[in-house]
Structure formats: structure tokens, C-alpha cells
Amino acid sequence: MTDGFMGPPWQMDWRLDALAVLEALPAHARDMVYAARAELVTVKDPYFRGVEADADLPDGMWVVPIRSSQPHGARLFFFDDGNGWLKYTFVRRSEDPQITVEQLFWQGFKQDEAPPVEE
């Protein structure tokens, strides 16, 4: 235990259904989720508040609140240019603050499938 508020790296917990989705993803999609996870657990504020909220995130990633009326509520962390997201909450406890991933979604496509070509 610490005497003050803990900072990054944050702890991350997954709901079992979100973890099952993660484990079922293809390897390249899992790598994108792990990159999003790395951004979340190492940032000073997991809610990315401020005018330039997404300035430090890699291209193709951004964070938005689910409801603007709940500034400390759940967030969506988009990755893969919006083709996937993590729905998460951040619990600010003085002891053991943590991020909880409630949902994971990825709308992917197979790399070896080419789009149909008109003749």
C-alpha cells in the first residue's frame, strides 16, 4: 500500500466475456488491442481529458466518453481507425486504482481476401 494516490502504470482487469473476445481475435488484431492497452495503462489520466485529449495517441486511436453528461463515466477507446474499440471505466481509488475493460469489439477482415473486382 502507498501513502498517496497511485499513478501509472495502472492495473487493468477484464470482464470474462471481453477476455474471451480478446483470445479469439487473430494475432494482428490482438497486437492492436495490446497497443491500445499499453496506451491506457501508462497514461497519466486514463480519461484523456483536455482540449488535445488524443494528441499523444498513435494514429488511428482516440478516446471518447460514452455520455458527455457523465465526465467520470465509461469511455470508448477506438483503435484500428475505428474498426475496433474497448469500452472501459477507471476507478479512482486511493488504494489500487484500476481500469476495467467491460467490452471489446473488433470488426475485422481477412488480409488474404481481396475485395471483389468489377469486370
Which tens digit of pLDDT belongs to each residue from 51-107? Answer: 566 667 788 888 888 887 777 788 998 988 889 999 999 887 666 778 999 999 999
The Cα-based distances of 76 to 17, 47, 61, 115 in angstroms read 17, 10, 10, 29
DSSP 114: P
- Return the closest-CA partner of residue 29 out of 108, 113, 104, 82: 108
Q: What proportion of the chain, given as a percentage, has pLDDT over 70? A: 75
Alpha-helix residue ranges (DSSP H) falling in 1-119: 16-24, 27-42
Q: By three-state DSSP, how is residue 59 classified?
A: coil
Q: State how far the Cα of 88 lies from the Cα of 23, in Å rounded to an integer.
A: 18
